[in-house]
Chains A and B, each alone.
Chain A
Amino acid sequence: MKDGQRVRDLEWLDLDPDAGDAEVIAECRRRLTLYAGDHPAIYSLMSEEERHRMLARIDGILSRLKKPDSGPPLSSTPVVEDSAEGVPAAPDSEAGPAPDPATSPGDFLRYLRRSCGMDLREISAETKVSERQLEAIEEEDFSALPAPVFVRGFIIAVARALKVEKPEELAGIYLEKIAGGGS
């Protein structure tokens, strides 16, 4: 059953049946950018509803990726402490203790990024999420962010780039915070 779904997901993405998760993620990211908003290449092709369905489909594919073997999160660096909700805490760094992802997911992502030694430009290049939006994510400046369905995709992409073990969970926390009307 799960295998059948995997086959359908790969087929939908036009990938080989033996394609790995990295390829799936790369293909999903290309599409998240394409369907994120006012992309000139899809002008008039589909209705808003169809566009949202595309995003939901990609979201579904990403959320079905089980990643127990995606490499231990930041295994080469010492892990401070596992936080709640299964989101791993960040490694020690000069920036002090890791912010709690459950209450400050934006700070948490920034902390992780810095402790990986990456700047916004690098994350943007890898995730195709614009630097401006990455900044808004870290700032938790919700007014500068698009609809939650996109934000979910962004958070997952960023969390994966930073090797967070359960990106969907972090995205869930983030969306809850948006729904709670944080800023």
Chain B
Amino acid sequence: MSRVKADHQPMIYAVGGGKGGVGKSVIAANLGAALALLGRRVVLFDADLGGANLHTFLGMSSPALGIGTFLSGKVGRLDEVAVDTSVESLRLISGAGAGLETANLKYAQKSKILRHLRKLDADEVILDIGAGSSFNVLDFFLAADQGILVLVPEPTSVENAYHFLKSAFYRTMKDTEPKGQIRQILSRVRGELEARGIHSPRELVEQISREDLEAGMSLERSLKAFRPGVLINRVREPGDRRLGDDVSLACRDYFGTGVSALGSLDYDSLVHQSIVRRRPILELFPGTAFARGIMSLGERLLRGSG
């Protein structure tokens, strides 16, 4: 990933992973705190509409201002609904109180938010996109400069993560220009995959390139930008640490595009305590394994070596 951004636009990260309960929000909140501690101006954006509770991880009651305020048109800029947190240089745009109707964003609303995220007066923006693989979730993930896919070493989590990746991969393909042409080839080729001996997405892209070189090259360009990172959370066995590398290798073979391994975070019972006490773990137990892991993840992301 490149950290060189035009016009001091913020770097945007999206924390997702398909499955609920794998630690996305606690990671997003603490990664925000970590990047702020590392001297960056950070905005956390709670895009888990309908289930927003990042404020709780930061010990705040539901802020009066948030995404709902922005979408209602009462303010013109997202900066105006970013509220200060207990961590210096860390602000929060809450998804709470956005109204039940915002749980299902309309296309125009989503585009407006994505456009304005780039205009935030910040160095780093972290989106907590919530669980699932719905279009809204995928679009926030794909709009980010760096997607962070959180997995725990359990088959259910691996399964949801792969479902998420496949959905994101096909959505990227379908949104590649020339859209009409690519979608046409896709629908034609998909019907006869078996007969042609096409099985993996990688072979699908190769087949499209054979049929239409230009469309194929355009696809390869846009898929090259599809480089989410995989972060393994709640590691208990040393062997689990390798899961990220193995997933990364399998994705490379299967999709033909890179999924980078972002490392792992150890299981740490103090995480639970920090959630119960509604404070970032970095504030309560800065020396603990999870806190050190998050700090080192933040450092790696800032170096752009994620």
Q: Are A43 and B158 touching (Cβ within 8 A)?
A: yes
User: A40-B155, A40-B158, A40-B243 known; A45 and B250 CB under 8 Å?
Assistant: yes
User: A45-B254, A46-B254, A54-B253 known; A39 and B246 CB under 8 Å?
Assistant: yes
Total inter-chain residue pairs, C-beta < 8 Å: 45
Q: Are A49 and B246 touching (Cβ within 8 A)?
A: no
Q: How far is the CA of A155 from the CA of B247 in the complex (A)?
A: 25
Chain A residues with Cβ below 8 Å from B253 are 12, 31, 54
Q: Are A41 and B155 touching (Cβ within 8 A)?
A: no
Is there a chain A Cβ closer than 8 Å to B252's Cβ?
Answer: yes
**Chain A proximity of B236: nearest CB distance (Å):** 13
Q: Mark B164-197, 1 if CB is under 8 A from A, else 0.
A: 0000000000000000000000000000000000
Among B163, B252, B254, point to the contact of A14 (Cβ < 8 A).
B252
Is there a chain B Cβ closer than 8 Å to A183's Cβ?
Answer: no
B247, B250, B252: most-surrounded residue (chain A CB, <10 A) = B250
User: A34-B249, A39-B246, A40-B153 known; A50 and B158 CB under 8 Å?
Assistant: no
Among A12, A41, A53, point to the contact of B243 (Cβ < 8 A).
A41
Q: Mark A34-74, 1 if CB is under 8 A from B, else 0.
A: 10000111111111011001100000000000000000000
Q: How far is the CA of A12 from the CA of B153 in the complex (A)?
A: 27
A14, A39, A44: most-surrounded residue (chain B CB, <10 A) = A44
Chain A residues with Cβ below 8 Å from B158 are 40-41, 43-44
Is there a chain A Cβ closer than 8 Å to B135's Cβ?
Answer: no
Is there a chain A Cβ closer than 8 Å to B214's Cβ?
Answer: no
Chain A residues with Cβ below 8 Å from B251 are 45
Q: Are A34 and B200 touching (Cβ within 8 A)?
A: no
User: A31-B253, A40-B153, A45-B162 known; A50 and B246 CB under 8 Å?
Assistant: no
User: A49-B199, A53-B199 known; A43 and B155 CB under 8 Å?
Assistant: yes
How many A residues, CB 8 Å from partner?
18
Is there a chain A Cβ closer than 8 Å to B159's Cβ?
Answer: yes
Query: Which A residue sits closest to B166, measured CB to CB?
Result: A45
Chain B residues with Cβ below 8 Å from A31 are 249, 253
Main secondary structure of the interface of B (DSSP, over half): helix
Which positions 135-175 of chain B face chain A at CB distance < 8 Å? 153, 155, 158-159, 162-163
A34, A42, A46: most-surrounded residue (chain B CB, <10 A) = A42
Is there a chain B Cβ closer than 8 Å to A30's Cβ?
Answer: yes
Q: Are A42 and B250 touching (Cβ within 8 A)?
A: yes
Q: How far is the CA of A42 from the CA of B250 in the complex (A)?
A: 7
Among A39, A40, A44, A49, point to the contact of B163 (Cβ < 8 A).
A44
Q: Are B199 and A34 touching (Cβ within 8 A)?
A: no
Q: Are B162 and A30 touching (Cβ within 8 A)?
A: no
Query: Which A residue sits closest to B246, measured CB to CB?
Result: A41
Chain A residues with Cβ below 8 Å from B247 are 41
Closest 8 CB pairs of A and B: A41-B246, A44-B159, A43-B158, A50-B199, A43-B155, A45-B162, A42-B250, A41-B247
Interface residues of B (CB under 8 A from A): 153, 155, 158-159, 162-163, 199-200, 243, 246-247, 249-254
26 contacts between A and B (CB under 8 A): A12-B253, A14-B252, A30-B249, A31-B253, A34-B249, A40-B153, A40-B155, A40-B243, A41-B158, A41-B243, A41-B246, A41-B247, A41-B249, A42-B246, A42-B250, A43-B155, A43-B159, A43-B162, A44-B162, A44-B163, A45-B250, A46-B200, A46-B254, A49-B199, A50-B200, A54-B253
